[in-house]
Amino acid sequence: MPNKYVQFITDDHLLTCIDNLYSSYQKARNNINRGEFYKNKIDTVKMIFDKYFGGQADKDLIEGEVIRKANKTISNAIGTFHEEILGGINGYIKGNNSGYDIKASNNSIFIELKNKWNTLKGEDKPSIFRKLESFIQANPGAKGYYARIWAKKSEDKIWEFTAKQQSYKNDNIHIISGDKLYAMLTKRPKALFELYQALPKAINDYLTKIGIQTSKVQSDLYSEINHSAEETKRELIDQISKENYDYYDGFDSL
């Protein structure tokens, strides 16, 4: 029976990857309790502008801030999602803390994967290069790839750069964009786009299967803070400001 979503991994594998990512979303949001929500302080002046200029309801203000605080964890989880997808392609394996993110089963390819082009600091480039170089030196004929799912341009070329006045170049180490990476591993030129198009249907099927449409964690946090606001007869933003900045002149009177 043909695959329902994409042709380069099984439907079961794709749904498992989606399930893992959903769990990561839930965990990231669950970690945003009231204490964590206030940990790095809330910009309540921005909240006022968001409410009156952006037309956001109080609940949306809370939920948007929760998402923002959880974004770093979620971004890392999405990177893992791509690792799991690509590791499910026939002939490839996810690294699982082995020093590489993905490799070919026959050790001909080793991949360091990042989700976006701007997540790598300049000082980290040499360490990634040396790591890839160690793998290809241990496996003659192998190639190493530093991959970014979302790069500034579509490319697959020799990775060369200079760091701290030292030049780095090896003809067997490439820098590659997400579209070219997916194409190389799947032998399908538009594989990443095929995944992009398939995700809404696959996600909807997954959510229907588990009977959950949205997380209630954010709403719970809203309810908790809103309950406090109702008890103290404050506006929601005033309640957040009071709890965050009671030590500021004037805010203690809210």
pLDDT of residue 214: 55
pLDDT of residue 146: 96
Q: Provide the CB-side half-sphere exposure for 17 (13 A, CA).
A: 23
User: Within a 10 A sphere around the Cβ of 96, how many other Cβ atoms?
Assistant: 9
**Token pair in block for residue 84:** 């799991």
Range in 13-22, 23-32, 77-86, 217-226 the model is least confident about: 217-226
Range in 58-72, 102-116, 139-153, 228-242 the model is least confident about: 58-72
DSSP 8-state code for residue 107: S
Query: Which of 187, 188, 191, 121 lies closest to 149 in space, CA to CA?
Result: 191
Q: How far apart are CA 254 and CA 252, in angstroms?
A: 6
List the chain domain ranges: 1-88+216-254, 89-204
pLDDT of residue 68: 84
Helix 236-245 and helix 58-87: axis angle, to 10°? 70
164 close to 144: Cβ distance less than 8 angstroms: no
Average pLDDT for 206-233: 80
Model pTM score: 0.81
93 close to 59: Cβ distance less than 8 angstroms: no
Q: What is the pLDDT of residues 59-97, one digit of tens each?
A: 889 888 888 888 888 888 999 999 999 999 999 999 988
